[in-house]
Structure 1
Amino acid sequence: MEAVEINAGEFYLRQLRADDRIDDRVALVAGGLFPDLATAGAHIAERTKEWHTEESCSWAVCDQLTGTAVGEVALTSTGELTCWTTPDLRGKGIATHATAAVLRFGFGFLDLPLITARPPDGPARRVAEKCGFTAEGPLGVWTRLR
């Protein structure tokens, strides 16, 4: 599948990039997920491959005015959602905004009947709750039906 951009108002979601025009590796390192630019670049290459093999859709969450990546959101073909934002912007509703947009894409365009998430901490659980997910069992899985 070709990568799809999502206009989500204050933020827009686009494919992660590391090229001569846009370099999202800096945001990935700033997010604390990758120790260096090379590892972040490998992640971007993997995410690009996943779009083409239809294993996962993933987006850089970008500020609408500057185009700067401030996080990432991904949805696998089996309906598992992940989302994060850079530490300096956490608590501002960005993850909730991005998650809600991807839920609409997953339920609408991909026609998924169920989307799951595994929020790792309290703030992530609050995002899941705001987006309509409910906790399911002791394994930390949260679900959202259409």
Structure 2
Amino acid sequence: MEPVEINAGAWYLRALRADALMDDRPALADLGETDPGHVGRADADWLADARYTWAVCEPTTGELLAEIALRPDTAEISARARPGHDDAADAATAAVRRFAAALLEP
């Protein structure tokens, strides 16, 4: 599956990025994710339908506030937020839960 953007009220969810226009790696480092291959693996996981990962972003700047992931085989959702942004992660979790219910519905 290609990455899907999701509107989560005050935040939006998009695929992780590390390119000339947007680089999520510094914000991911705030989450403890220092592996430079993390964004590339997230892209590959989307295409393989192994794991769907989103950057939970502030809509005016696109800044990553949290990261959320869904394993489509188990419907397991995981989230981690930068300090002070648990509300963004909570809203994103609810939005991804709705996405998963629609996606995984028989």
Contact 1:9 1:64 in 2 (8 A): no
Which residue is 1:99 aligned to? Answer: 93
2:105 aligned residue (111, 117, 122): 111
Residue 57 of structure 1 pairs with residue 52 of structure 2: yes
- Aligned to 1:17, the other structure's residue is in SS state coil
Question: Which residue number corresponds to residue 43 of structure 2?
Answer: 48
For 2:57 and 2:85, locate their aligned partners in 1 and report how far apart those are by CA, in whole Å.
14
The structure with more radius of gyration: 1
Aligned counterpart for 2:76 among listed residues 60, 74, 80: 80
Distance 1:7 1:90 in 2: 17
One-letter amino acid of the structure 1 residue matched with residue 97 of structure 2: L
Q: In the TM superposition, what whole-angstrom CA distance separates every residue of 1:43-78 from its partner, at most 9, and x where no partner exists?
A: 111111100000011100000111100110000022
Query: After the TM superposition, which segments of 4 or more aligned residues of structure 1 sit over 4 Å from their partners?
Result: none
Counterpart Cα distance in 1 of 2:60 and 2:104: 28
Contact 2:65–2:85 (8 Å) recurs in 1: no
Change (3 A) 1:90 1:10: closer
The CA deviation string for residues 88-145 of structure 1, in whole angstroms up to 9 with x for no partner, is x244x22210100000100012327xxxxxxxxxxxxxxxxxxxxxxxxxxxxxxxxx
Using the size of structure 1 for normalisation, the TM-score is 0.68
Aligned to 2:21: 21
**Number of residue pairs the alignment of both structures matches:** 105
Percent identity for Structure 1 against Structure 2? 41
- Structure 1: where are the runs of 5+ without partners? 113-146
Q: Gaps (5+ residues) in structure 2?
A: none
